[in-house]
């Protein structure tokens, strides 16, 4: 670890803090309808779609609209991928995407997961990349943001039982937030050297005299929304390690900054909408505390390197001419600090973009991205998904605090009764059930083991990481597992759908239940949700829920692998 490395982490952390208030204030204006600078376009969309923007929906109608829209857009993407060979903007004559892979990919991008079991430059046409995958990059992020806003409305409103209009929230998030910011940052990325063209792939002669095909395409436009919408799906197979997607340290910085911009700002939006700004900052502080622990651990583990390598004569010391540490799987233009920071950021959020191979991290370095996801993607989290995920943990926190003092739990004046706790627990339990059951199945059946490149604890970690990533709608991978099989394409597709919608529906139900209540005045017995004690208790609940659920399987994977590495053993 170096002073320069810590300085880079500090600068990034300050950016995440600085952007929270101005962008959060803008989000408030977007979702309350006071930002109207694209009013004519917005109204035209409503007229064409037959949407009544004045309608306020009950949570059941809001959830039904969300599910129907997602199902229809997923079906459209599936058909487009299956018919890709017949559609235009396909200069490389890409074949139709196989049925199993088209199902997984359409599920992946619909759920904001963007898990990819294919190489984008050899599988997807320009039309598929732009009109289907990039389309979902916008829409799936807007849907997540809309769901988060609906939950905040449920907390803020009194006695109405209504949580907003799904169609209006989705249009406004896309039109006023995602589109303009993506346009600006796409131009920034082009300036940094990210390519943006429609040229056929170039064939060049290398210095050795061999022929090499270099992929082209409209990359910068997809890269901007890929990061901003916490999507993560790469135009190229190497994702953000590819020099056409992420060519410079500055493009790398902006890629990480885009991932956490909206999640950070939504905590400030929360405080303003519930009229408890200190509560919004308390939630931000809890998220940042977990982020700081994660990036410190990853940076330390990767800088320390592998003692087995040191025993065999590899110099792990950091000097002016030697990066030291564990450089396996990392780009030299980013080094250890930016690889560790990127890995932490992308798994804190449900993004999944990678600029280094997590499979090549040290056991503890790889443990942090895995645990980030297993905590529920609540450390800032995805666009919208992070906020509503941490608010479910807040509900559990105030419930536990109420039990401690022997009174009915309250959250900002709203009673947390049996049905609210049931929805929160359903949200929490769906996640580990799907991960652990399918991981357990896959390590005992031959189709699950067929594509595994490593045995022992690392092999278990690869399968566990894959199901954790898909259930958490993250999309990153350890890359030591061949996922392009019928078995994994099918299970991953189902896992992504369950991880998204089986958790969204209970959350929206909770929003509706809270919106039906009238907030009571706070009393001396009300648990304050803006204090350092609340921050500590919230962090503790997040860690305890994750540890109790996943510690046994982590002990069999990365933890035992770390102990073996320290003992000088290789599996």
pLDDT digit of tens for each residue in the chain (571 aa)? 788 889 999 999 999 999 999 999 999 999 999 988 998 999 999 999 999 999 999 999 999 999 999 999 999 999 999 999 999 988 888 899 999 999 999 999 999 999 888 888 888 999 998 888 989 999 999 999 999 999 999 999 887 889 999 999 999 999 999 999 999 999 999 999 999 999 889 999 988 889 998 989 899 999 999 999 999 888 888 899 999 999 999 999 999 999 999 999 999 999 999 999 999 999 999 999 999 999 999 999 998 888 887 777 776 777 666 777 888 888 888 989 999 999 999 999 988 899 999 888 999 999 999 999 999 889 998 899 999 999 999 999 999 888 877 777 888 888 888 899 999 999 999 999 999 999 999 999 999 898 888 888 889 999 999 999 999 999 888 878 888 899 999 999 999 999 999 999 999 999 999 999 888 877 766 788 899 999 999 999 999 988 788 999 999 989 998 888 888 765 5
What DSSP state is assigned to residue 129?
Answer: I
pLDDT of residue 507: 95
pLDDT of residue 569: 66
Distance CA 520, CA 246 (A): 51
**Contact (Cβ atoms closer than 8 angstroms) between residue 107 and residue 71:** no
356: left (phi over 0), alpha (psi -120 to 50) or beta: beta
Distance CA 254, CA 98 (A): 35
Distance CA 468, CA 471 (A): 5
**Contact (Cβ atoms closer than 8 angstroms) between residue 129 and residue 235:** yes
Distances (CA, A) of 76 to 48, 110, 539: 19, 10, 41
**Contact (Cβ atoms closer than 8 angstroms) between residue 566 and residue 307:** yes
Bridge partners of residue 410, in order along the sequence: 415
pLDDT of residue 306: 81
9 phi and psi, to 5 degrees? -65, -40
Q: Where are the domains of the chain?
A: 23-278
**Contact (Cβ atoms closer than 8 angstroms) between residue 121 and residue 215:** yes
pLDDT of residue 519: 81
Bridge partners of residue 352, in order along the sequence: none
pLDDT of residue 341: 95
Distance CA 485, CA 80 (A): 21
Per the listing, tokens 């969309």 go with: 45
Closest by alpha carbon to 384, among 182, 179, 178, 116? Answer: 178
pLDDT of residue 163: 93
pTM above 0.85, yes or no: yes
Which residues fall within 8 angstroms of residue 321, CB to CB, at 6 or more apart?
Answer: none
**Contact (Cβ atoms closer than 8 angstroms) between residue 113 and residue 385:** no
CB atoms closer than 10 angstroms to residue 359: 20
């Amino acid at each position: 670890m170096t002073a320069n490395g810590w300085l880079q982490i500090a600068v990034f952390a300050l950016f995440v803090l600085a952007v929270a208030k101005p962008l959060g204030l803008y989000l408030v204006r977007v979702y309350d309808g006071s930002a109207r600078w694209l009013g004519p376009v917005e109204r035209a969309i409503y007229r064409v779609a037959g949407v009544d923007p004045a309608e306020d929906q009950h949570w059941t109608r809001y959830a039904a609209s969300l599910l129907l829209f997602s199902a229809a857009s997923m079906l459209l993407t599936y058909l487009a991928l299956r018919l890709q060979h017949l559609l235009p903007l396909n200069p490389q004559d890409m074949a139709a995407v196989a049925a199993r892979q088209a199902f997984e990919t359409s599920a992946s991008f619909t759920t904001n997961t963007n898990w990819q079991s294919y190489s984008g430059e050899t599988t997807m046409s320009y039309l598929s990349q732009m009109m289907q995958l990039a389309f979902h990059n916008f829409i799936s992020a807007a849907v997540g943001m809309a769901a988060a806003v609906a939950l905040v409305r449920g907390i803020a409103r009194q006695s109405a039982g209504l949580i907003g209009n799904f169609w209006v929230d989705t249009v406004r998030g896309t039109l006023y937030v995602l589109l303009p910011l993506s346009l600006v940052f796409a131009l920034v990325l082009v300036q940094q050297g990210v390519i943006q063209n429609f040229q056929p792939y170039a064939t060049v002669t290398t210095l050795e005299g061999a022929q090499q095909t270099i992929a082209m395409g409209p990359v910068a436009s997809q890269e901007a929304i890929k990061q901003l919408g916490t999507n993560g799906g790469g135009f190229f197979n190497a994702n953000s390690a590819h020099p056409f997607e992420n060519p410079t340290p500055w493009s790398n910085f902006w890629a990480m900054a885009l991932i956490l911009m909206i999640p950070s700002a939504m905590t400030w939006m929360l405080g303003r909408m519930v009229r408890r700004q200190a509560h919004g900052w308390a939630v931000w502080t809890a998220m940042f505390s977990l982020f700081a622990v994660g990036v410190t651990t990853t940076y330390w583990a990767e800088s320390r390197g592998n003692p087995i390598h040191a025993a065999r004569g590899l110099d792990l010391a950091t000097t002016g001419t030697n990066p030291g540490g564990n450089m396996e799987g990392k780009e030299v233009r980013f080094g250890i600090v930016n690889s560790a920071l990127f890995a932490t950021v992308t798994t804190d959020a449900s993004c999944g973009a990678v600029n280094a191979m997590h499979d090549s991290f040290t056991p503890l370095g790889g443990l942090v991205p895995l645990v980030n996801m297993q905590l529920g993607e609540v450390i800032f989290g995805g666009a919208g998904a992070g906020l509503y995920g941490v608010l479910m943990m807040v509900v559990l926190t105030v419930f536990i605090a109420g039990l401690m003092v022997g009174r009915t739990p309250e959250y900002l004046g709203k009673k947390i009764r049996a049905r609210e706790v049931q929805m929160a627990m359903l949200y929490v339990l769906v996640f580990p059930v799907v991960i652990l059951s399918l991981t357990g199945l896959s390590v005992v059946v031959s189709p699950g083991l067929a594509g595994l490149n490593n045995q022992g604890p690392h092999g278990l970690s690869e399968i566990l990481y894959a199901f954790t990533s898909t259930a958490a709608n993250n999309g990153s991978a350890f890359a030591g597992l061949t996922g392009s099989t019928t078995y994994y394409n099918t299970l991953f597709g189902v896992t992504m759908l369950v991880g998204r919608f089986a958790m969204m529906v209970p959350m929206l139900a909770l929003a509706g239940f809270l919106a039906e209540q009238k907030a009571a005045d706070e009393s001396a017995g009300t648990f304050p949700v803006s204090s350092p004690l609340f921050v500590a208790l919230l962090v503790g609940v997040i860690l305890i829920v994750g540890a109790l659920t996943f510690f046994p399987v982590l002990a069999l994977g990365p933890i035992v692998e770390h102990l073996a590495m320290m003992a000088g053993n290789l599996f």
